[in-house]
Amino acid sequence: MKKTGIFWFFVLGLFLTTQARAHFLWVNPRAYHLETGEELVFTLGFGHHFPGPGGDFLEKSLLKELIIITPSGKRLVVETGAYPILFKTPALLKEGTYLVVAEKKPGFFSKTAHGFFRKPKNELEDVIECKFSKRYAKALITVGKAKGELYRQVLGQELEIILLKDPNSLRVGDELPIKVLYQGKPYPKAQVLATYEGFSPREKSYFSFAVRTNARGEATLRLDHRGPWLIKVSKINPYPEKEICDVETLVATFTFELP
């Protein structure tokens, strides 16, 4: 089994973090490649950047959905592990590619002259800005040898990233084509951000690569480092009822490992 050392550093970071100021959600596996019969153990990162200096985490009570899809398409229940922020699957017995899918419960977050509150602005006073957030995440997991095309399956998330090639078939320097969907349709001119574990932020940017999708909602990423990668896409819409909130923010991520 191949492990990523940052995983347990993340777990320890929970107890050093007093408040999550999260911008996006991601699936953070202990290992992206498992042997047949192993359980998958992971956390859900919930912070400003990947992989983060200790990180913030999402607990199961804040989730709308958390499943793992097997190579045959079966959906397995994901349980909490030894700690509230740890999750684990049943033993994964079938060889091939799996997909972890997570969605946070949507909610309001308002900045006021008196602080921050998880309420709409019509329930508060002196509101500076209100956001209604939706967060989605996927991760590609391989048990034994990679098989199947789950990586490109459309699941119906409102904002969704689709991989058009299996990262297991790629190497450093190769290109990974992706597609971005919004409400099931291609999302053109979407800014796609990507980074890898170990990237050193430059000029306040936590991402090593940026590109925009074309008219078909497609873009190509150049993978120049081995190890875990994260792809991120965002969308901001006006909130339909201005007296309740100002904007709706959607963020989707996809994590995987380049061999």
CATH number of 6-258: 2.60.40.1930
Give percent of the chain with pLDDT exceeding 70. 89
Tens of pLDDT, residues 37-69: 999 999 999 988 787 655 678 888 899 999 999
Q: What is the pLDDT of residue 15?
A: 31
Domain ranges of the chain: 6-258
148 vs 2: CA distance, rounded Å: 21
Q: What is the pLDDT of residue 156?
A: 96
- The better pLDDT of the pair 232, 5 is held by 232
Q: What is the pTM of this model?
A: 0.89
Residue ranges of E strands in the chain: 24-29, 33-34, 41-47, 63-69, 75-77, 79-80, 87-88, 96-104, 107-112, 115-117, 127-143, 159-163, 175-182, 185-186, 191-196, 209-212, 218-222, 227-238, 247-258
